[in-house]
Structure 1
Amino acid sequence: MDIFANLALGFGEAFAPQTLLYCFIGVFLGTFIGVLPGIGALATISMLLPLTFYVPPTAALVMLAGIYYGAQYGGSTASILLNLPGTPSAAVACLDGYPMGQQGRAGVALLMTTYASFIGSSLGIIILTAFSPLLADVALSFGPADYFAMMLLGLVAAATLAQGSPVKGIAMVLVGLALGMVGTDVQTGQQRFTFDIPQLADGISLVALAMGLFGVAEVIASINRMGAGQKAKEKITLRSMVPTARDMMASTLPMLRGTGIGAVFGALPGAGATIASFMSYAIEKKVARDPSRFGKGAIEGVTAPESANNAAAQTAFIPTLTLGIPGDAVMALMLGAMIIQGIQPGPHLVTEHPELFWGLIASFWIGNIMLVILNLPLIGIWVKMLSIPYRILYPAILLFICIGIYSVNNSAFDILLVLIFGIVGYVMMLLRFEPAPLILGFILGPLMEEHLRRAMLLSRGDPAVFLERPISAGFLAVTFALLAWALVGLVRQQRAQRRAMVEAGP
């Protein structure tokens, strides 16, 4: 069967009334929980997993998948309006989306994120459909040394996310690495840096860290403005939501680059949408003619990561469906849902259950069209949230954060962690330290350590393995090129400052 016959089979399954209904339920719930701060796709899918016992396999997976990529659509909404990421992968949208909202361009930012989400998802689906076997082979060919080199590249790129000194960016990466080491060592079973606190045995919650650094810190910073609303007081009309031609031109190439980055990182087990969005932002900042615009409302700083995380959300199904290897916790739940239905994910899934595999892919097209139809009319409602007074808005935000954090692990300790990280985030704001490199260091650190130790075990302690493999050697070459680029830029900046001081005189 060729690809068109496979898609015909898939659309026949996806257009079944029951499948359409569950697809709509999934994308609607995904958008809703993506917009709400503190409640993510992981918690929602966990709560709905028992429902899959009573739903046909295709309909169940279509609904769970709709929640996952629907949350990617809605996650940036709270980032733009409230500086509070609805999902961890939307944390990077705070950097430029929130400044756009404060400049009165919240409608444009939300419309462009919807457009970027659709472009990223659509291209991701095309890649998933046409190149799934090829991308699966590439992901399967990666060894521990290759993964380590890729993670190292991500950490070096993370330092460029800082708005101020690169030294501060590196410092935040190191803090993220240290926080990522908290918990139980996978290989030895020994607890590290838990300080005899049982709740830290499983490590620090990423959701708690992200919500604390971005959400609670903003609430604390806004305490002295509790009686006010947001700056955008003007009425948001449909015309004000329409982007300018300059916005479209500035976003076209970044969206394509973001889609490519998201497609690659989504297909790699252990990478995912969060890493893809941060990497996309870092690359856009590197290739920009004026990097100083980032963090102040640059449209490409919103659209590129948005297309990246939505493309990654689609291609993340490649290793899960074709290899039986979940790329993240959400994909692990998807894997569990298939096993509950008696379906074994892996290379034989396409041939043994073609109606499920291609029906799921076809539902991605239908679900993304539903999301555009749902998001565009509701943009005005989200923007009107800007006028809600802080004394009403922020207590509600804190309530949603507490409910969302508690629902993940049913742990009151996670709520305490959110409060602690919120205070730390506020202090970081005062000292002008950016939280984004810390988040990426926290995500990449454990993965990097795991692959480093595995590579060294396989090579019997010979570090030359990182240079012998072409893939890892290529990643290391790019890493050192980035370091050299950053060093040259720092030297030029210092020379310019010295020249200015000499010209100014005593």
Structure 2
Amino acid sequence: AEDFSLMVLGLIFAVVLAKGSVLKAVAMIALGLLLSMVGADLETGASRMSFNIPELADGLGFATVAMGVFGFAEIIRNLDSGAESDRELVQQKITGLMPTRKDLAESAPAIFRGTILGSILGILPGGGAVIASFAAYTFEKKIARDPSRFGRGAIAGVAAPESANNAAAQTSFIPLLTLGIPPNAVMALMVGAMTIHGIQPGPQVMQKQPDLVWGMIASMWIGNLMLIIINLPLVGIWVRLLRVPYRLMFPSIVVFCAIGIYSINNAPVDVILAGAFGLFGYWLIKHDFEPAPLLLGMVLGTLMEENLRRTLQISRGDWSVFITRPLSAALLAIAAALLVLAVLPALRRKRDEVFVEG
């Protein structure tokens, strides 16, 4: 009961912190939960929502949906929005990459505040690096002596979001490794990758596979050191890559995406499904739907259903077990309170303000 309630709370956090309409975020989560049910029933093995299509008997692959909604849909969006015009911004020579002493002195407080804020928001289910970046930028702008400098090169407006982004990326592993719950879409991709390799994230993973956990922790240190090397000395290479016309780049991107999807199950139908979800993802973008809650709903759907059915079997069908157990009741109460707050006009305006100012 507690596991199910905790996952409900995570999905509600995704609704509260998602960009745009609350109703659309709820719709995306509901759709994600439905997609997680496609395939064989967890206990009886009966086919559900597969429409007698053999390729859907095992359910929809997480990587297939994610690559379609985030990968192919983004390619279509770039082609539609005219990505060529943005490349004029990178024609000039880039100089002054290393920060000066003055830059370091001005950015140090913002870096500290951004790190603290990002660490907190990274742990929260439904949060993540994107929310942390927006929140840190908005906070720095509100406490600044001259807010008009933001958007015109204020170093605090760069240092704080980047620090929050990095901090949230690290702390978002905490709920994933301790509870087995992905707090955001990126961690949902991580769960999918672990599941493909037969690894079940959760409290036991630290005892059963300590090499994996400590390897991930070490990779964070190594990754940050590598970023310094990749970003500063090699930035000229990345700028030159941006100058390549997008019409010449996107075919190779599509090919590599298709190869990646095909290599998982060696199934051509997965590539076709990813293409279909790419079109669907583009439709979502055009109609201001946030695709990340859909991914969270799909990842948590199977775990939620498993814990829900197990709880009802133990309680012999008594639904009151979710509110009679103290921890479960507290988690559901928090989720309900957050959902009520999310639809209040004042909080909705604050949510929109954070994303607009970011």
Matched, 1:455 2:332: no
**Offset at residue 468 of structure 1 (A):** 2.5
Matched residue of 1:188: which SS?
Answer: coil
TM-score, normalised to structure 1, is: 0.52
Looking at structure 1, the residues matched to 294 and 74 of structure 2 have their Cα atoms a distance apart, in angstroms, of 17
Structure 1 position 251 matched with structure 2 position 107: no
Deviations 1:132-157 (A, max 9, x none): xxxxxxxxxxxxx0111011112222
Query: What is the letter of the counterpart of residue 446 of structure 1?
Result: T
1:173 alignment partner, one of 9, 25, 29: 29
Where do 1:1-16 residues align within 5 Å? none
Instruction: From the superposition, tell whether residues 172 and 303 of structure 1 become closer, same or farther in structure 2 (CA, over 3 Å).
Output: farther
Q: 1:461 to 1:177 in 2, by over 3 A?
A: same
Counterparts of 1:202-351 in structure 2, within 5 Å, are 202-224=58-80, 225=82, 230=87, 232-233=89-90, 234-237=92-95, 239=97, 245=107, 248-258=111-121, 260-261=123-124, 278-280=126-128, 307-311=167-171, 313=173, 328=191, 330-331=193-194
Contact 1:406–1:415 under 8 Å retained in 2: yes
1:388 is the counterpart of 2:244: yes
Matched, 1:434 2:286: no
Equivalent residue runs for 1:489-500 within 5 Å = 489=345
Displacement of 1:305 in angstroms is 6.4
Q: Tell me what 2:227 maps to.
A: 375
| Paired residue type of 1:176 | G
1:148 alignment counterpart: 4
SS in 2 for 1:222: helix
Q: In the superposition, relative to structure 1, how do residues 281 and 316 fare at CA in structure 2: closer, same or farther (>3 Å)?
A: closer
Is the aligned partner of 1:398 residue 2:250?
Answer: no
- Shift, 1:223, TM fit: 2.5
- Label 1:319 to 1:218 Cα distance change in 2 as closer, same or farther (>3 A): closer
Distance 1:437 1:387 in 2: 33
Distance 1:298 1:191 in 2: 51
Displacement, 1:285? 9.3
> Which residue identity does 2:325 align to in structure 1?
R
For residue 483 of structure 1, report the CA deviation from its aligned partner.
1.3
Structure 2 counterparts to residues 192-207 of structure 1, below 5 A: 192-207=48-63
Fraction of identical pairs, as percent: 35
Whichever residue aligns with residue 13 of structure 2, its letter is A
- Once the two structures are TM-superposed, the CA of residue 301 in structure 1 deviates from its matched residue by 7.1
One-letter code aligned to 1:373: L
Q: Name which of structure 1's ranges 399-408 and 206-215 shifts more when overlaid on structure 2.
A: 206-215
Is the Cα contact below 8 Å between 1:177 and 1:445 reproduced in 2? yes
Alpha-carbon offset, residue 333 of structure 1: 7.3
Matched, 1:469 2:321: no
In structure 2, the CA distance between the partners of 1:213 and 1:383, relative to structure 1 (3 Å rule), is farther
User: What is the rounded CA distance, in whole Å, between the counterparts of 1:445 and 1:298 in structure 2?
Assistant: 37
State the shift of 1:467 in Å: 1.9
Deviations 1:347-373 (CA, angstroms, capped at 9, x unpaired): 987xxxxxx95x777666654443233
- Per the TM alignment, residue 329 of structure 1 is displaced from its structure 2 partner at its CA by 5.8
Look up the match of 1:497: none
Contact 2:118 2:132 in 1 (8 A): no
Partner Cα separation in structure 1 for residue 39 and residue 12 of structure 2: 24
Cα distance in structure 2, aligned partners of 1:191 and 1:305: 42
> 2-side partners of 1:152 and 1:346: how far apart?
22
Write the distance in 2 (CA, Å) between the matches of 1:432 and 1:255. 26
User: For 2:176 and 2:348, how far apart are their aligned partners in 1?
Assistant: 41
Amino acid in the other structure paired with 1:473: A
Give the match for residue 353 of structure 2. none
Residue in 2 that maps onto 1:128: none
Measured against aligned partners, the alpha-carbon deviations of 1:86-135 in whole angstroms (never above 9, x if no partner) come to xxxxxxxxxxxxxxxxxxxxxxxxxxxxxxxxxxxxxxxxxxxxxxxxxx
Q: Are the counterparts in 2 of residues 162 and 169 from structure 1 also a CA contact under 8 Å?
A: yes
Q: Is the 8 A contact 1:220 1:426 kept in 2?
A: yes
Structure 2: tracts of 5 or more residues without a match: 142-150, 152-156, 181-189, 350-358
Q: Under a length normalisation based on structure 2, what TM-score does the superposition of the two structures give?
A: 0.71
1:406 to partner: Cα distance: 0.7
CA distance in 2, matches of 1:200, 1:238: 54
- The letter of the residue matching 1:372 is N
Q: Which residue of 2 aligns with 1:443?
A: 299
Distance 1:464 1:378, change over 3 A: same
The answer to whether the Cα contact below 8 Å between 1:161 and 1:282 also exists between their aligned partners in 2 is: no
* C-alpha distance 403-458 of structure 1, shift in aligned 2 (>3 A): same
1:287 Cα offset (Å): 7.5
CA contact (8 A) 1:232 1:386 kept: no
Structure 2 letter corresponding to 1:388: V
Paired residue for 1:34? Answer: none
In 1, the alpha carbon distance for the partners of 2:329 and 2:158 equals 33
Which of structures 1 and 2 has the larger relative contact order (alpha carbons within 8 angstroms, sep 6+)? 2
Find the aligned partners of 1:403 and 1:207 in 2 and give their Cα distance.
12
Corresponding residue to 1:485 among 341, 345, 348 = 341
Shift of 1:457: 0.7
The one-letter code sitting in structure 2 at the alignment partner of 1:377 is I
**Counterpart-to-counterpart distance in 1, 2:205 and 2:193:** 17
The offset of 1:452, in angstroms, is 0.8
Mapped pair 1:185 → 2:41: yes
1:409 paired residue among 242, 265, 271: 265
